[in-house]
Structure 1
């Protein structure tokens, strides 16, 4: 049975990286967009670019700091109202800094956990409130293959944050199982974005290829999807069973 077309899409963290790339890709598909991020000047420039390239779509933007749950609770429904409703929310905002635990970088690691876990949680709360009220919708949580196993050095806090998102999304999915609300956990592999500078591992793909694969997977609305599916789906299975010494060498 084909999935419904999600015409109105809200994306957090849309001013750069995967969020910006998804906005361009969905705009080219004729979708209407609500774009949110902290850097409003980049959002405004992106909005003008998308409307010039695709004059038939609607694009609304708003400043949003996912670290502030009150801000999220206010901005998400406001954007939905301005767009005439939202069919899909992509909780994409996140940061990728980090360092080995115990090396004097506790504040950096804490910031990663705060933004990636609690910021995404705030987005999920706002999105699910909308979807429960309308009885349908598609929540997309952007996780990472780094969340499958504990990772060392710069990926420790980042991987832990993504592991938390895997559990959060699955819990929400279980809560609304059998309803018209779909919840997808998406686990990208290594994609060449600013967030992965210094942490790009094997099989890294360029941003354009990664975004195309990401949007294709989101459109299929899986419970769990890997980006790109090859080689990351089989690699994910290996990561779950490999001994820690092998994980250390691979990452």
Structure 2
């Protein structure tokens, strides 16, 4: 029987690549995005339905998911939509902080809540949340972004315990750097003169030379597909060489030692 995946944030990058991968594997794909009228690629694919959804809009979110659950049999829900707010905390406005939380955290919570009774009644289903290596390990200039991603990781772990009794699996895919246009399309930031040296040091990680070493969207999409189909009761899937290096280093030397190591890299 053909399976169906619901995905947020599919207009480009990892979301679009994941939608195309599942479609190529014979899945029915419900691909959501803020501006579906601008989409020209996914709309041409068989068994792909493109719907409008801004995860930061609670009313639109409810209406879209109500429609989906009335018209489709969903097996996997993938929370992929998100963006990065990068810069020193002093430079952010309240509006920037609120939008980051609404998009990266509240969107995940609301979608999970909407799908939970549906999966509970069916006694099966997989909820997958895209976090980040910076949702497992902190990094300078990522305070609010990491706050949301750490929160999604903790939320996912708790929901995994809560929903296990109903046969529902909750999983997290935590990528490192990805070779997408994320830095230009899904990155917001703010500058503060006092932190200019720090910002310059951090921005070295976004140089073309560094980005060339990151995972491809296809690499990470394959990890998402693995999480959706492997049948394992596994919570975290750390995706990408850089993410695994950081994660394994923390396990090997301990969290405090790694914190001091990262601090030393950014002392001036």
TM range (shorter): 0.7 to 0.9
Q: Does 1:165 align with 2:180?
A: no
Contiguous gaps of at least 5 residues in structure 2:
185-202
**Rg bigger for which structure?**
2
What displacement does 1:125 show? Answer: 0.9
**1:71-90 matches, cutoff 5 A:** 71-82=60-71, 84-90=72-78
| Alpha carbons 2:5, 2:78 under 8 Å: kept | yes
- Number of aligned residue pairs: give it: 237
* 1:122 counterpart residue number: 110
TM-score, with structure 2 as normaliser: 0.79
What displacement does 1:36 show? Answer: 0.9
| Alpha carbons 1:6, 1:88 under 8 Å: kept | no
* Greater mean alpha carbon deviation, residues 17-26 or residues 214-223: 214-223
* 2:48 counterpart residue number: 59
| Alpha carbons 2:131, 2:174 under 8 Å: kept | yes
Pairwise CA RMSD: 2.4
Helix, strand or coil at the partner of 1:190: coil
Contiguous gaps of at least 5 residues in structure 1:
52-57
| Alpha carbons 1:77, 1:130 under 8 Å: kept | no
Helix, strand or coil at the partner of 1:25: helix
**1:168-247 matches, cutoff 5 A:** 168-197=155-184, 200=206, 203-220=213-230, 221=232, 222-228=234-240, 230=241, 232-239=243-250, 241=255, 242-247=257-262
* 1:49 counterpart residue number: 44
| Alpha carbons 2:177, 2:242 under 8 Å: kept | no
What displacement does 1:130 show? Answer: 1.6
Helix, strand or coil at the partner of 2:59: helix
* Greater mean alpha carbon deviation, residues 122-131 or residues 16-25: 122-131
- Residue 150 to residue 60, structure 1, CA distance change in 2 (3 Å): same
What displacement does 1:68 show? Answer: 1.8
- Residue 152 to residue 79, structure 1, CA distance change in 2 (3 Å): same
Q: Measure the CA separation in 1 of the matches of 2:122 and 2:41.
A: 29
Helix, strand or coil at the partner of 2:18: helix
Q: Measure the CA separation in 2 of the matches of 1:40 and 1:216.
A: 27
What displacement does 1:231 show? Answer: 5.2
TM-score, with structure 1 as normaliser: 0.84
Q: Measure the CA separation in 1 of the matches of 2:61 and 2:12.
A: 19
